[in-house]
Chain A
Amino acid sequence: MAAVRSMSKMYGLCFHAVRQTAGLKASGLLQHRAFRATVVHQQQPFDSSLEKPQFPGASAEFVDHLEFIQPNVISGIPVYRVMDRQGNIINPSEDPQLSKETVLNFYQKMTLLNTMDRILYESQRQGRISFYMTNYGEEGTHVGSAAALDPSDIVFGQYREAGVLMYRGFPLDLFMAQCYANADDLGKGRQMPVHYGSKDLNFVTISSPLATQIPQAAGAAYAVKRENMNRAVICYFGEGAASEGDAHAGFNFSATLECPLIFFCRNNGYAISTPTNEQYRGDGIAARGPGYGMLSIRVDGNDVFAVYNATKEARRRAVAENQPFLIEAMTYRIGHHSTSDDSSAYRSVDEVNYWDKQDHPISRLRHYMTARSWWSEDDERSWRKQSRKTVMEAFEKAERRQKPNPELLFTDVYQEMTPNLNKQRESMWRHIQQYKEHYPMDLYDK
């Protein structure tokens, strides 16, 4: 009874309010509500076709026939590209007109990454490092996007974006130090290989749990927006990671909280063994953008210029308009998922060979350079030799270097050393002292 009474009281109040605001000739929405109320009471002729849904959160028309929306309503999202597979510019107005010097730098970064990958991959096979993940075939997505950013933009990566870090100037020595977990590793030897990070280069340290970086990137972009320093955030992730709950959270947060953020999805066809048709049934990742109210584009990830253009424009608008952009870069993971994987168990050699031999971002860029006589066979040969030498030098240096002092096991758990950890640290050293011969102290920094 009491409930009913208070309900009718509430209604009465509402009605009163509506009439009041109508009298005040407020916004269209309020007028409309008032109109409905009066119509009902004055029994005027009623035209249902004039009615519009008033539900908060959706604006559209009413329809009077039952029809489900087709899932392919967003399908066949086109793939933006600038160059064809032979490196010819398709539409001159889309040519980013990069200088020879810039293009050569692109090429050198892409090939250096490739060389580093092959040496580190091989070194894992020989048991010299514990693990590795190559970037084969995705070099274009890394360099094209990295080049379109400002160095102050913050990068949140997944793990297969070493080229982004390389483009930003991370030295070979530090890549190698991380993979060897030696005393020069900025991450202090704590993480598996390829979990790079660089404070100086605004590259947030990689974490293995997938998709966790996605909502974090939204938060960082929000903070960066409030700083008002013309900065953006870019967040890389695979099409597999995009299935995680965190991906949904990140997309939705960045759209509703208007974050200057570029979501960069590397759609390389696989999440370990899982092909995309078992990962999602919509039109890829780009199709999700509209659902979140986010501007989206699909690009040819093996076309470094297309990636560059898309990222550049997304970055410009993200900062100018404070909103997130979603870029889905279509590419192919030519290597095994990691050194733990043998991809011949789930895909054919022919499939891999197609991408390796027919549609590789490095060859495409090389065609472009060759057509302009910017790069000769001789240039190629001497660059190969030189880059191989620098990678090998860094590699040998990293291998010779000691591991970090075991003391670093206990630091950075908290900002400060706690009494509990201090006690554990002391007990570890006491133990090692007593059982020296059983611990590989000779390999570690004193």
Chain B
Amino acid sequence: MMAAAARFFIRGANSKLSISGVAAGAQSSLGASLLKLSASCNSRTKTQRRHVAHFTFQPDPVPTQYGPTQKMNLFQSVTSALDNTLANDPTAVIFGEDVAFGGVFRCTVGLRDKYGKDRVFNTPLCEQGIVGFGIGVAVAGATAIAEIQFADYIFPAFDQIVNEAAKYRYRSGNLFDCGNLTIRAPWGCVGHGSLYHSQSPEAFFAHCPGLKIVIPRGPVQAKGLLLSCIADKNPCIFFEPKILYRAAVEQVPVEAYTIPLSQADILEEGSDVTLVAWGTQIHVMREVANMAQEKLGVSCEVIDLQTILPWDVETVCKSVAKTGRLLISHEAPITGGFAAEISSTVQEECFLNLEAPISRVCGYDTPFPHIFEPFYIPDKWKCFDAIKRMINY
């Protein structure tokens, strides 16, 4: 199931439509029969598929405090949040590349039909335009929800985000702001995305006061956090772990609800090591916590940071004060990654509590590589090994 989910991004919805690209039918005899290959080829294919999933999604308990729930995967929970927003806020508009037909990850499916094409619409293919437009919508007082098709393609909008959105309020003496702007973008590794469909660019934006950056671990958190971002009076970037769009399924409340920003979530309490992560990596960490318990008898406290900026220093430091050890893990390159910021702060705040050097298990300082992804990612074995080393320090 994981393998299938992870492969979603490239496979998409399988088409019943067979578009052959055949000139006047002349080549129509070609097709699947072409690919009847030798046995050796087939066996290799199987081995190639063996290593697709690097984590097991661990669903949250069914929330009881927000009314009736429905089974939703992560992209559906995003749709649900957007649906609530369009229903409750007549100024809200949703736009980006290919959002009108539902978006390449299906997050906006059905919304245009339900709310009209003046509220859910395609933009020309231009990220700087999308964010600049969104800032303008927000400055004029309406709610702007901009989609960037992949987090990897947010960089043409870097200037609009960093120099404009983040500084609007400050530079105008609070005369103007674009707090009504929320930027959503699919984020993180997916098994085969390589350089430009895998990146986790949160650290670039974490260096930018005035922004809020949020990354959910699953459908329930995604909906509540996204609705908080939309309601928040500061420009927010909401990164969605795309490998979870289909793989992560939970019971999600149907009605609108919010989950507070800048509050980390302690998922498992523990006494020996604090594990901090966000997004997909949370599921790696939860598995690592189990492995540490089973194989080493080590008790881990797992914290989902959720909001990268401004982040919840208190929860993390309290935990480290208790455990004396901290492991932080993200897929983005280690140098200048957000783990460095956490590590530095914790070292300042908890120096005397530390039993071992703070450990970071992150991506290497290289671009995100296609065929080497199994070696590149901070998988459970690397994290497990880091815990072992911290315990034996």
Q: Using an 8 Å CB-CB cutoff, how does the interface string of B166-199 with A read, 1 for contact, 0 for none?
A: 0000000000000000000000000111111100
B104 touches A341 (CB 8 A): yes
Among A16-24, A53-61, A206-214, the stretch that binds chain B is: A206-214
Q: Does A190 contact B (CB under 8 A)?
A: yes
B104 touches A421 (CB 8 A): no
A439 touches B193 (CB 8 A): no
* A406 with B193, Cβ < 8 A, contacts A243-B125, A357-B24, A435-B381 known: no
Q: What residues of B have a CB within 8 angstroms of the CB of A440 in the complex? A: 47, 50-51, 374
Among B10-18, B211-219, B309-317, the stretch that binds chain A is: B10-18
B35 touches A119 (CB 8 A): yes
A340 to B190 CA separation, bound complex (whole angstroms): 13
A336 touches B19 (CB 8 A): yes
B192 touches A409 (CB 8 A): no
B31 touches A434 (CB 8 A): no
B192 touches A131 (CB 8 A): yes
Q: Does A396 contact B (CB under 8 A)?
A: yes
Q: Does A31 contact B (CB under 8 A)?
A: no
Q: What residues of A have a CB within 8 angstroms of the CB of B15 in the complex? A: 336, 342-344
Closest-CB distance, B64 to chain A (whole angstroms): 37
Within 8 Å by CB of B375, from A136, A366, A406, lies A406
Q: Using an 8 Å CB-CB cutoff, how does the interface string of A411-446 with B read, 1 for contact, 0 for none?
A: 001000000110010001001101100111011000
Closest-CB distance, B202 to chain A (whole angstroms): 18
Closest-by-CB residue of B relative to A193 is B370
Q: What residues of B have a CB within 8 angstroms of the CB of A192 in the complex? A: 192-197, 370
A130 touches B125 (CB 8 A): no
Within 8 Å by CB of A241, from B9, B19, B45, B125, lies B125
Residue of B12, B50, B376 contacting most chain A CB atoms (<10 Å) = B12
Among A34-42, A219-227, A269-277, the stretch that binds chain B is: A269-277
Interface size on B (CB < 8 Å)? Answer: 77
- List residues of B (19-77) whose CB comes within 8 Å of A's CBs: 19-27, 30-32, 34-35, 37-38, 40-41, 44-45, 47-51
A204 to B364 CA separation, bound complex (whole angstroms): 26
A127 to B47 CA separation, bound complex (whole angstroms): 11
Q: Does A48 contact B (CB under 8 A)?
A: no
Closest-CB distance, A127 to chain B (whole angstroms): 6
A290 to B102 CA separation, bound complex (whole angstroms): 36
A116 to B34 CA separation, bound complex (whole angstroms): 11
Closest-CB distance, B98 to chain A (whole angstroms): 5
A185 to B31 CA separation, bound complex (whole angstroms): 26
Closest-CB distance, A211 to chain B (whole angstroms): 8
A338 to B195 CA separation, bound complex (whole angstroms): 17
Closest-by-CB residue of A relative to B105 is A340
Closest-by-CB residue of B relative to A384 is B27
A361 to B23 CA separation, bound complex (whole angstroms): 8
Closest-CB distance, A237 to chain B (whole angstroms): 11
Q: What residues of A have a CB within 8 angstroms of the CB of B100 in the complex? A: 273-274, 278
Q: Using an 8 Å CB-CB cutoff, how does the interface string of B368-392 with A read, 1 for contact, 0 for none?
A: 0111101110010110010000000
Within 8 Å by CB of B27, from A114, A409, A413, lies A114
Q: Using an 8 Å CB-CB cutoff, how does the interface string of A362-378 with B read, 1 for contact, 0 for none?
A: 11001000000000000
B23 touches A399 (CB 8 A): no
Q: Does A171 contact B (CB under 8 A)?
A: no
A137 touches B125 (CB 8 A): no
Q: What residues of A have a CB within 8 angstroms of the CB of B102 in the complex? A: 345
* A360 with B24, Cβ < 8 A, contacts A406-B375, A409-B372, A440-B50 known: yes
Closest-by-CB residue of A relative to B21 is A136
B21 touches A118 (CB 8 A): yes
Q: Does A100 contact B (CB under 8 A)?
A: no
Within 8 Å by CB of A439, from B21, B104, B121, B375, lies B375
Q: What residues of A have a CB within 8 angstroms of the CB of B124 in the complex? A: 240, 243, 274, 278-280
Q: Does B335 contact A (CB under 8 A)?
A: yes
Closest-by-CB residue of A relative to B106 is A345
Among B152-160, B232-240, B344-352, the stretch that binds chain A is: B152-160
* A409 with B376, Cβ < 8 A, contacts A209-B153, A209-B196, A440-B51 known: yes
A356 touches B21 (CB 8 A): yes
Q: Does A181 contact B (CB under 8 A)?
A: yes
Closest-by-CB residue of A relative to B37 is A396
B194 touches A191 (CB 8 A): yes
B11 touches A240 (CB 8 A): no
Closest-by-CB residue of B relative to A278 is B122
- List residues of A (341-398) whose CB comes within 8 Å of B's CBs: 341-346, 349, 352, 356-357, 360-363, 366, 380, 384, 388, 392, 396
B30 touches A118 (CB 8 A): yes
A409 to B369 CA separation, bound complex (whole angstroms): 7
Q: Does A202 contact B (CB under 8 A)?
A: no
B10 touches A339 (CB 8 A): yes
A122 touches B31 (CB 8 A): yes
Closest-by-CB residue of B relative to A240 is B125
Q: Does B133 contact A (CB under 8 A)?
A: no
A244 touches B125 (CB 8 A): yes
Q: What residues of B have a CB within 8 angstroms of the CB of A409 in the complex? A: 364, 366, 369, 372, 375-376
* A181 with B12, Cβ < 8 A, contacts A192-B193, A273-B101 known: no
Q: What residues of A have a CB within 8 angstroms of the CB of B17 in the complex? A: 342-344, 349, 352
Q: What residues of B have a CB within 8 angstroms of the CB of A244 in the complex? A: 125-127, 156
Closest-CB distance, A136 to chain B (whole angstroms): 3
Q: Does B301 contact A (CB under 8 A)?
A: no
Q: What residues of B have a CB within 8 angstroms of the CB of A396 in the complex? A: 37-38, 41
B371 touches A410 (CB 8 A): no
A335 touches B19 (CB 8 A): yes
Q: Does A134 contact B (CB under 8 A)?
A: yes
Closest-by-CB residue of B relative to A212 is B156
21 pairs across A/B with beta carbons < 8 Å? Answer: A118-B20, A122-B31, A125-B11, A126-B45, A130-B370, A134-B21, A135-B21, A137-B21, A181-B371, A191-B195, A209-B156, A274-B98, A278-B100, A340-B9, A342-B12, A345-B101, A345-B102, A366-B26, A400-B41, A420-B365, A439-B51
A residues with CB within 8 A of B: 111, 114-115, 117-119, 122-128, 130-131, 134-137, 181, 189-192, 195, 207-210, 240-241, 243-246, 271-274, 278-280, 334-336, 338-346, 349, 352, 356-357, 360-363, 366, 380, 384, 388, 392, 396, 399-400, 403-404, 406, 408-410, 413, 420-421, 424, 428, 431-432, 434-435, 438-440, 442-443
**Other A-B pairs beyond A274-B125, A421-B364, 14, CB < 8 Å:** A122-B32, A128-B45, A243-B129, A278-B121, A278-B122, A334-B19, A338-B10, A340-B10, A384-B27, A399-B45, A409-B376, A410-B364, A440-B374, A442-B47
The 10 A-B pairs at the shortest CB distance, nearest first, are namely A136-B21, A208-B196, A189-B371, A362-B23, A130-B192, A243-B124, A181-B371, A409-B372, A340-B12, A363-B24
